[in-house]
Structure 1
Amino acid sequence: MGKRARPTHAGTPATTVLTRAGIAFEVLTYDHDPGAGSFGLEAAAALGVEPGRVFKTLLVTTDHGLAVGIVPVDRSLDLKAIATALRVKKAAMAEPGDAERSSGYVVGGISPIGQKRALPTVLDESANDHDTILVSGGRRGFDVELSPTDLASVTRASCAPISR
């Protein structure tokens, strides 16, 4: 099972941003298995949380640059839907190296919060079905739990149906 740590000792750009913004959150940690096939499903299982409450952060490239999609780990990002939500012609998954350089995080630990550059962000509307959701806190094996409203606020995300 996951260990719970105090947010003030978390020490990632994501937790720093949340603390400075005065947003309530809880840190959840677990021992990451480097051989795990899905970082998000691993997190859900390790933390004992239903996969629909654990959200993954995916970067896409559009004709207007990079953008962020946040969707449940048991679903896929619908590229046509995120393009519509971003009001661009099309979106494609960003190359992992581009995602890491832009966000400042490593793949499997990319948080939507505290990225090096603020990017247009879309949160899947299913997040609003839950009081709290989990997203990466900026490292593999390190998640933060917060309300979808606070996540949307701190990332300036719009909400739209972007998963399938």
Structure 2
Amino acid sequence: MTPAVNAAKRAKIAHTLHSYRHDPAAESYGEEAAQALGLDATRVFKTLLVSDEAGRLAVAVVPVSTKLDLKALAKAWGVKKLAMAQPVAAEKATGYVVGGISPLGQKKRLPLFLDAGAEGLSTIFVSAGRRGLEIELAPKDLLALTQGRFATIAREG
């Protein structure tokens, strides 16, 4: 099992694993997961890493049907400016490969922001730590496990 799945099991939170055959040619890992599992893209969330001007990293979790609003996330985090983290930095900090980065079980505890749109959902789907594996869990459980918080950080895109 992945560190993400192990974290959910250790915490004894309700979760369900969903696997699918990953296509290496897929352009969007999150959209691929939604299509392969027959899910509404508003319930499948992607895990993105950002970097502030000092090089500190944070995690943003937004629906795959949206784009991350860097200005809104900067405001929520209390920093001036953000950029997407370099893939090498994201992989090093999380212990996962791009396309399989889970918000759970990361090597380093980073500030985590879950889009506020998840607040009204009973469960959401996020990467379980490898391409082709999603974990379904309650948004409140994701926040409890990551010490994260809700913030309005997604925009239509």
Amino acid corresponding to residue 69 of structure 1 in structure 2:
A
Q: Sequence identity of aligned pairs in percent?
A: 55
Question: Quick one: distance in 2 between partners of 1:103 and 1:26?
Answer: 22
1:134 is aligned to 2:122: no
**Could you tell me which residue of structure 2 aligns to residue 83 of structure 1?**
74
Dislocated runs of 4+, deviation >3 Å: none
- What TM-score, normalized to structure 1? 0.92
Partner SS for 1:76: strand
User: Structure 1 residue 128: deviation in Å?
Assistant: 1.2
Question: Could you say which structure has the greater relative contact order, defined with CA pairs below 8 angstroms and 6 or more residues apart?
Answer: 2
Cα RMSD (Å)? 0.7
Amino acid corresponding to residue 34 of structure 2 in structure 1:
A
| 5+ residue gaps, structure 2 | none
1:46 is aligned to 2:39: no
1:161 is aligned to 2:152: yes
Partner SS for 1:137: strand
**Equivalent position to 2:140, from 138, 149, 163:** 149
1:22 is aligned to 2:12: yes
**Could you tell me which residue of structure 2 aligns to residue 94 of structure 1?**
85
| 5+ residue gaps, structure 1 | 1-10
The total of aligned residue pairs comes to 154
**Equivalent position to 1:34, from 5, 24, 42:** 24
User: Structure 1 residue 95: deviation in Å?
Assistant: 0.5
**Could you tell me which residue of structure 2 aligns to residue 122 of structure 1?**
113
**Could you tell me which residue of structure 2 aligns to residue 7 of structure 1?**
none
User: Structure 1 residue 158: deviation in Å?
Assistant: 1.0
Partner SS for 2:26: coil
Amino acid corresponding to residue 31 of structure 2 in structure 1:
L
- What TM-score, normalized to structure 2? 0.96
